[in-house]
A and B are shown apart, each in its own frame.
Chain A
Amino acid sequence: MDDRAAMEICVAEAEKRSGKNAVSMQETFTVYLIETRPMDAVAEGHNPAPDCLWRRYSEFELLRNYLIVTYPYIVVPPLPEKRAEFVWHKLSADNMDPDFVERRRVGLENFLLRVASHPVLCNDKILCYFLTEEHGWKEAVYETGFQAKADSRLRALSATFRVRNPDKCFMEMKHYSDELQSHTSQLLRARARVADRLYGVFKVHGNYGRVFSEWSAIEKEMGDGLQSAGHHMDAYAASIDDILEEEEHYADQLKEYLFYAEALRAVCRKHELTQFELEMASQDLISKKQQREELATGIVRTFSFKGMTNKLFGQEAPEQREARLKLLEDLIAEGEETVKEKTIERHVEKAWVDIQRFKEQKDKDLREALINYAVMQISMCKKGIQVWSNAKECFLKM
């Protein structure tokens, strides 16, 4: 994608579809409409019809996996959650639930916007195809061969290994990513529990509505006031639904950074892995060079079976020695290449740049999220004051 052809992207709609899946079973799934328009056309005031295509969640996942493997030093923006987690009891955990689908639509749009505005990722061809080529995109992705790299990488990431010279900064960053993950998930769980309880408090007040109404029936002067107050209590009880629905947006913002923490950790881990591979390669290179030296000078400095057998059974023939030396030279040349590669592969600079970019984005986004949360709380307080003041007016008229 050309930097100049900046695009306006949005995930406009969601629709249910039915079809046969990979094992020929009938399934229902949701597809999302991606609309794109060239930015300059919009800026110039034209209003061209957007290009659009439909994609389902699994295709977004495929795109992201491709990006993670292809750009291991980039903190790749996360997708909205696959299944509803951290639900408080009234909230549906059903993937087909319209509210869930809507929040997912917003999350997918957010993902695309973040990827498209990333200084490195935005140039990726596969990303471009994803946005413009409805058919043939999958083939293009598989053709990149990223899956081969993905498998080995995943295996490596879960393996345990010890690095001799860990990069202090990356280690601390990895530690931070663990903290971020832990804190955001704790917060999401605690928030869900709070939401649950608050729901209960509000709904019980609805009972006041009923009993005030019944009571007003046996009263003369007090009747009207009680009846009206009862209505306000009903309104109070009903208001919690909207309040908590809105709070889900805040939860979604937190979730994004929960998943971002994973992405950050992956970058650090990849760095660690590469560092380990580099150390292995360097180690190997040193030992090969030593072997060459021994072979060339005949001085054995290190213990080796070859050395032992030489001592026991006598030295080998000069032709054999030459052959072995040649082989070693080749291996050493290869080894040096590997070391060079691995050194570069650590992408220390690039990773650090992206981590810095991520850090600034995180601070800004989360601060905004907290402000929005405070705004929501204030709105809830104002509603509460309104309802109870109204109720008080009714009580005064009793």
Chain B
Amino acid sequence: MSISAPRGLASSGQKPITEILHPLSAAEEPLSPGPDVTVSGGRDKEVGLTNGTPVETPSPASASVLFNRLQLDDDLDSDGRDPYADTETHDLFVTVDDPKKHVSTMETYITYRVSTKTTRIEFDLPDYSVRRRYQDFDWLRTKLEDSQPTHLIPPLPEKFVMKGVVDRFSEEFVETRMKALDKFLKRVADHPVLSFNPHLNAFLSAKDLNKRQGLALLSKVGESVKNVAGGYKLRVRPPEFCAMGEYLDTFNQKLGTIDRIAQRILKEQSEYLTELREYGTVYASWAGSEEELQRPLEGVAGCVTTCCGALEDMSENMGQDFLPVLREYILYIESMKNVLRKRDQSQAEYEGRLEAAVLRKQEDRTPIPAEVEKCQDKMECFNADLKADWERWQSNKRQDFKQLLTGMADKNVTHYEKCQAAWESLITLLQDKQTEDKTSCKSLWEIRQ
């Protein structure tokens, strides 16, 4: 099996280190290219068409297995860095912040500052600070998708916003979008393969992104044409990828439900808040007609107002932090399903070609062309990349949701703590007054006496 060449993929200028670190290339275990080469005649189509390895055997592309193997390999550790280590060495730090509005004759838009700190030699300088707008992020993502189609690319926040419904320049919208862009970039920078992509490098460092929009458009077209022209239909998706697909479908559904619940809660809380505010004002207005009870009633009004404030804060937080993350994951799932489909495509193509080649061989002893092997490599690469990224994604997902949900719990606890404090201080006030001498204020009542 050939170990050379970039894995049949459209990326240009792949650095040697990336190749070497590819899971399949460094494995000691001989990866069976597929039973078709060894099995005579390949009559057993079913066996031949499925991914060779039975489910029980640990897949050679299992990330942790390979990573461990890689660490033993001296060649890789020549410069002491091992980007594949489980405890990832962080040598590329990126941040998105400082939104600014730009007004020009043609358009108004927001730019963000993208700051980079790195010790990687791929970068000329250790620090960078550039300004980018959403379009630029979109460009980067497209480039990553095109150049690394076997990998899961993190999602961007939604591109289109309905003008008139959402204010694109409001503080909340910009803040939310910026956080999502920051997350996107961090995820890319943390990815062992994506972070070495030269487009990322350009994005982070170039003064002026020479985006060559035209070319980008063309390559996109090319890609889709390729996919359609392939026209190979997949017969059976291997079980582990089936499991992935099913998981994604169910997870997507659950996330959708959670999103709806969260929105409903926000709506109910907003209506509750409206009534609560009104409730507080009634106490305040009652206080106006009372003497002894004036302070207690005003106290209650004050507590209610404090509770309103606490609730408002929590709702705002949920809207800004919770919902966007949910939505992000929904987008992530979409893009993952796409990658799964592409993987299916590459498997279908390989199997299709193989089938054709085997038939020809039977007819006129034409040997299996090298293309078929290339397809096989491509497919196996895809499978390995996907599995590795899947594990990564699962692990990140767990962390993200743990953080998200504990955050939600924290916000609720804080909200109740604020309310409790307000009511407790009121009780102190009320009980003090009870023991106070009440004859301090002359009132109409007493004059009458």
Contacts and interface: CB of A to CB of B under 8 A. Distances in A.
Interface of A: 169, 172, 176, 179-180, 183-184, 186-187, 190-191, 193-194, 196-198, 200-201, 204-205, 207-208, 211, 214-215, 218, 221-222, 229, 352, 355-356, 359, 363, 366-367, 370-371, 373-375, 377-378, 381-382, 384-385, 388-389, 391-392, 395-396, 398
A194 B276 contact: yes
Nearest to A353: B449
A200 B409 contact: no
Contact of B417 (A194, A211, A381, A398): A381
Contacts of A218: 247, 250-251, 254
Contact of B430 (A214, A371, A388): A371
B413 interface: yes
Given A190-B275, A207-B261, A200 B286 contact: no
Contact of B289 (A180, A205, A363): A180
**Which DSSP category, helix, strand, loop or mixed, fits chain A's interface?**
helix
B136 interface: no
A229 B247 CA distance: 21
A363 B406 contact: no
A211 B272 contact: no
Nearest to B253: A214
A374 B286 contact: no
A374 B430 contact: yes
Nearest to B446: A356
A371 B427 contact: yes
A373 B261 contact: no
A200 B427 contact: no
A392 B413 contact: yes
Contacts of B289: 176, 179-180, 183
Given A200-B271, A388-B416, A374 B398 contact: no
A381 B401 contact: no
B297 A370 contact: yes
A98 to B, nearest CB: 28
B239 to A, nearest CB: 16
Given A201-B268, A370-B430, A221 B420 contact: no
Interface in B391-449: 398, 401-402, 405-406, 409-410, 412-413, 415-417, 419-420, 423-424, 426-427, 430-431, 433-434, 444-445, 448-449
B427 A395 contact: no
B406 A395 contact: yes
B413 A374 contact: no
Contacts of B250: 218
A356 B449 contact: yes
B275 A200 contact: no
Nearest to A208: B261
Interface string B138-154: 00000000000000000
**What is the size category of the interface that chain B forms with chain A?**
35 or more
Given A172-B444, A197-B271, A375-B427, A183 B282 contact: yes
Contact of B445 (A229, A359, A391): A359
B251 A186 contact: no
B401 A398 contact: yes
Contact of B300 (A208, A221, A355, A374): A374
A214 B444 CA distance: 66
Nearest to B281: A190
Contacts of A196: 275
A52 B420 CA distance: 45
A200 B424 CA distance: 26
A226 B261 CA distance: 16
B292 interface: yes
B256 to A, nearest CB: 10
Contact of B444 (A169, A191, A205): A169
A190 B282 contact: yes
Contacts of A197: 268, 271-272, 275-276
B427 A367 contact: no
Given A366-B293, A374-B430, A385-B413, A201 B261 contact: no
